[in-house]
Structure formats: structure tokens, C-alpha cells
Amino acid sequence: MYKITLIPGDGIGPEIAGATRECVDALGLPITWDIQDAGEEAIKKYGTPLPEVLLDSIKKNKVCLKGPITTPIGKGYRSINVSLRKSLNLYVCLRPFKSFQGVRSKYQNIDLVVVRENSEDLYSGIEFEKGGEDTLKLIDFIEKVKKGKILIDSGISIKPISTSASEKITRFAFEYCRKNNRKKVTAVHKANIMKFSDGVFLEAARRISREYPDLEYEERIVDNMCMQLVQKPEKYEVMVLPNLYGDIISDLCAGLIGGLGMAAGANIGEDCSIFEPTHGSAPKYQGKNKVNPSAMILAAVLMLEYLGETKASRRLERALAEVVKEGKSVTYDLKEEGDLLVVGTKEMGEAIIKKLKV
Ligand code: NAD
């Protein structure tokens, strides 16, 4: 019996979460859902966007399927997604990118996996505001210790990269590679310029790679990696990256498979994990039964695989792939512009359930 925390999220979240839940339920596994609010819904109920009851539920159940959550721009609370990753120490962001026939894309047969470090780098949130007292002190200190001159009208973001976090993420990438019968890990960096941060990441990746002599290991500088992925994506399999490059390369890979509508991700820690679509809450489509539920269904596919329910995971992925390939019961984004023969979120979910029953 599995008890799984389900966060429907906001915007289009509840609609895609509803369709996903129905698809997973149709697999007939012993799953009960512990439904929890976050973001706007949680503020209405608990006065906070990230209530303790939600964190307790994930800590207890260990596995969470999550819809997108809106982050207010410029004011209000900080990203719930970032807070969740930090509070639960979810140090891995795992994103597989696979081409599905029937999705409009310039590329076919893409099969790439991004393993992104999720806890440090320029996303550590340690920032010094332009003109602030601490910022000016820091600028002064840097000049005093002869590290260089920073213009006084600068803002500063800190980029910490540790040996321990870099070793953990590269070990995860190699283990993933082995478990999934893949052959090669590519470490992506800019250590030629950032010797004391990316250099630490690269040294750790090299050290860990020596523990896996059965797997191929190679390195790419991030700018070259971008070009290589556009020119010859078939040469790569599993990529391991520090946080910022991982974020950027993930979107590049989403572009290769036809956009964010088919991209899912897992945030994995030692104690618990959260599975979610890569796209956001698309507020303009809220309540319109319009958007594609595929990314969240693919998040459920990843979750089932993680739970060891490999057969069910493959069944769900196959059913989704068939519906997308047939192109009859799919949402607007999977059709040519102006094609009126589109269905809604709910109907696409129902078509996938029908395939599961065949
Ligand atoms: P978005 O991904 O929500 O939407 C951008 C556009 O992509 C939409 O207008 C729509 O045209 C399309 N789109 C997105 N999902 C789709 C789907 N399932 N089917 C069809 N089309 C889809 O990006 P945004 O507008 O930049 O962000 C909206 C909100 O979501 C923001 O508050 C942002 O912070 C938040 N967000 C949350 C997460 C998360 O919860 N993990 C991730 C990204 C953005």
C-alpha cells in the first residue's frame, strides 16, 4: 500500500492533477492520496503558502506528486518550489527528455537525461543588494584582499560549490546511469573560468567517475555543450551539472523535444522525493479544461518507476505515447495552429485511460 502526498497546486494545477490522478488510479495499484494545499490555496486555509501540515505529510509519506504553483513576481512570498526543495533537502533534480511521436519538434529520437544539482551554486539565495551597507563592505573587503575591483554600483550573488554536494550529485548520476542501462555520463562545467567553484565540481566528478570504470565519462564546457546538443544530441546520454547550467540546459533539452508540455522532473532527496511537471501554472488557462496533462502524467510515470512499479510505469507511458502519436484526442498545443479538432485536459486523460484498458 502506498500513501502519496498529492499537491494539486494552483492555476491549471488542479485540472492536470485531476487527469493524472485518474490515470494513475486506472492502473489499479494500491495507492491512497493525501491531498495537500500549497501556494494560494494554502494561504486561504492556513495563512501561509507552505504550511507545516504539508511538509509533515511529505516527510511521512516520502513521495509527493505535485502540480505547478504560482510564484508572485516582485512581491509576496518566495518560490514555494525552491522552499520545498530546500526544506526537504532535495539535492537532485532529475529530468529525462524523450521524443514522443506526434509532438511537433525539429528533432526526433531525443533521449537525454539531465541530473542537476539542486541545492547550491548561484541559486543558494545569498545575494547582496546594490548600494546596501553589507554590499559596500564586501566590495571594500574584496579590494583589500587584492581579489579585484568591483564597481560600487554593483549587486552581488554568491556562487558556492562544495566538494560534498558535487560528489553526491555525480554519484547519483553514475548510479542512475548504471541502473538504467546507460553507458555514458557527461559532466558539464565552466571550470576554465571559474576555477574555485566549477573547478571543485569538476574535481569531484573526476574522482567519482573513477569509482565507475564500467561507465564512460567525459567533460564538456557548458557553452560548447549547448552547441553540441543543438548539433548532435544523439551523442549524449546522462549529463550532470551544477544548478544554474542544469536549469538552462534543461530548457534547451525541453526545446529539443517540442517544449515544456512533455517534460517532467523529479526532485530527489535522501528521505523523500517530489515529482512534478516542468511547466508552470499558466494562470490564463485556469479552469478552461484546455491544457495538456502530459507533463504531469509523465511526472507520475517517473514516480512509479521510483517506487519500483516499473511495469505500471511503462504501461502508463505507453498509453500516453499512443494517444499522442494518434493525435486524435490531444490538447491544442499538440496540434497545428488553427486545427479545431482538439480535446480538453479531461478528455485527453480519458483517452489515456481507455488505452490502459485495452
Ligand atoms: P508557464 O509554464 O506556466 O506557462 C507559459 C505558457 O506555456 C502558458 O501560457 C501556455 O501557453 C504554455 N503552457 C504551460 N503549461 C502548459 C500545458 N500543460 N499545456 C499547454 N500549454 C502549456 O510559465 P509562466 O507563465 O512563466 O509561469 C506561470 C506561473 O507558474 C508563475 O507564477 C511561475 O512562477 C510558476 N511556475 C511554477 C513552476 C512549478 O511549480 N514547478 C514552474 C515554472 C513556473
Answer yes or no: is 339 within a domain: yes
Same domain for 155 and 166, yes or no, is: no
Answer yes or no: is 21 within a domain: yes
- How far does the centroid of ligand 1 lie from the alpha carbon of residue 15, in Å? 13
Instruction: For the chain, give the mean pLDDT.
Output: 95
Check whether 75 has a pLDDT greater than 80.
Answer: no
State whether residue 118 is helix, strand or coil: coil
Same domain for 268 and 358, yes or no, is: yes
The per-residue pLDDT for range 91-112, each reduced to its tens digit, is: 999 999 999 999 999 999 999 9
Active-site residue identified among 247, 290, 333, 355: 247
Q: What is the pLDDT of residue 74?
A: 61
- How far does the centroid of ligand 1 lie from the alpha carbon of residue 13, in Å? 10
Active-site residue identified among 223, 284, 328, 339: 223
Answer yes or no: is 67 within a domain: yes
How far apart are alpha carbons 65 and 334 in whole angstroms?
Answer: 24
Cell of 239: 549529463
Check whether 211 has a pLDDT greater than 90.
Answer: yes
How far apart are alpha carbons 257 and 101 in whole angstroms?
Answer: 10
CATH of the domain at 5: 3.40.718.10
Same domain for 247 and 289, yes or no, is: no
The per-residue pLDDT for range 298-353, each reduced to its tens digit, is: 999 999 999 999 999 999 999 999 999 999 999 999 988 878 789 999 999 999 99
| Stated pTM of the model | 0.93
Among 192, 226, 256, the domain-final residue is: 256
Q: What is the pLDDT of residue 220?
A: 98
- How far does the centroid of ligand 1 lie from the alpha carbon of residue 208, in Å? 36
Same domain for 47 and 135, yes or no, is: no
Check whether 35 has a pLDDT greater than 80.
Answer: yes
Compute, in degrees rounded to 10, the torsion defined by CA atoms 133, 135, 140, 144.
130
Among 232, 256, 280, the domain-final residue is: 256
Work out the average pLDDT over 263-288: 96
The per-residue pLDDT for range 175-193, each reduced to its tens digit, is: 999 999 999 999 999 999 9
CATH of the domain at 225: 3.40.50
Sheet of strand 216-221: strand arrangement: 31-35, 2-7, 63-66, 273-277, 264-268, 92-98, 111-117, 238-241, 184-189, 216-221
Answer yes or no: is 101 within a domain: no
Q: Which of 7, 70, 83, 281 to mutate to test the pocket of ligand 1 (most atoms within 8 A of CB)?
A: 281
The per-residue pLDDT for range 288-298, each reduced to its tens digit, is: 999 999 999 99
CB 286 near ligand 1, within 6 Å: no
As a whole-number percent, the residues of the chain with pLDDT over 70 amount to 99
Shortest-distance Cα residue to atom 10 of ligand 1? 282
Q: What is the pLDDT of residue 299?
A: 98
**Interacting residues of 257 by C-beta distance below 8 A, sequence separation 6+:** 97, 98, 99, 100, 103, 105, 107, 110, 263
Cell of 40: 494560494
Spell out the alpha helix ranges (H) of the chain. 13-25, 40-46, 52-61, 80-87, 133-144, 163-179, 198-209, 222-231, 243-256, 294-306, 310-326, 345-357
For the CA of 284, the nearest atom of ligand 1: 9
Pick the closest to residue 291 from 343, 354, 356 (CA basis).
343
Q: What is the pLDDT of residue 230?
A: 98
- How far does the centroid of ligand 1 lie from the alpha carbon of residue 279, in Å? 5
Same domain for 327 and 234, yes or no, is: no
Shortest-distance Cα residue to atom 40 of ligand 1? 68
Work out the average pLDDT over 27-40: 95
Shortest-distance Cα residue to atom 13 of ligand 1? 282
Q: What is the pLDDT of residue 78?
A: 72
More confident residue, 138 or 72: 138
Answer yes or no: is 248 within a domain: yes
Active site residue 190: yes
CB 282 near ligand 1, within 6 Å: yes
At 260, the pLDDT band (50, 70, 90 cuts) reads confident
Answer yes or no: is 61 within a domain: yes
The per-residue pLDDT for range 125-177, each reduced to its tens digit, is: 899 999 999 999 999 999 999 999 999 999 999 999 999 999 999 999 999 99
How far apart are alpha carbons 132 and 142 in whole angstroms?
Answer: 15
Q: Which of 54, 78, 251, 279 to mutate to test the pocket of ligand 1 (most atoms within 8 A of CB)?
A: 279
Q: What is the pLDDT of residue 261?
A: 86
Answer yes or no: is 298 within a domain: yes
Same domain for 251 and 314, yes or no, is: no
Tell me how many degrees the CA angle 24-14-272 measures, rounded to the nearest 5: 60
Shortest-distance Cα residue to atom 31 of ligand 1? 70
Active site residue 212: no
Check whether 73 has a pLDDT greater than 80.
Answer: no
Pick the closest to residue 233 from 259, 254, 202 (CA basis).
254
Tell me how many degrees the CA angle 17-20-22 measures, rounded to the nearest 5: 110
Its sign, for the CA torsion 116, 119, 121, 124, is positive
Q: Provide the domain count of the chain.
A: 3
Same domain for 143 and 220, yes or no, is: no
Same domain for 296 and 284, yes or no, is: yes
Same domain for 62 and 32, yes or no, is: yes
Domain of 127 in residue numbering reads as 121-159
Check whether 259 has a pLDDT greater than 90.
Answer: no
Same domain for 213 and 246, yes or no, is: yes
Tell me how many degrees the CA angle 42-276-326 measures, rounded to the nearest 5: 125
Answer yes or no: is 102 within a domain: no
Same domain for 59 and 4, yes or no, is: yes
CB 345 near ligand 1, within 6 Å: no
Pick the closest to residue 352 from 2, 1, 10, 23 (CA basis).
23
As a whole-number percent, the residues of the chain with pLDDT over 90 amount to 89
Same domain for 13 and 45, yes or no, is: yes
Q: Residue 329 CB: number of other CB atoms within 10 A?
A: 20
CB 281 near ligand 1, within 6 Å: yes
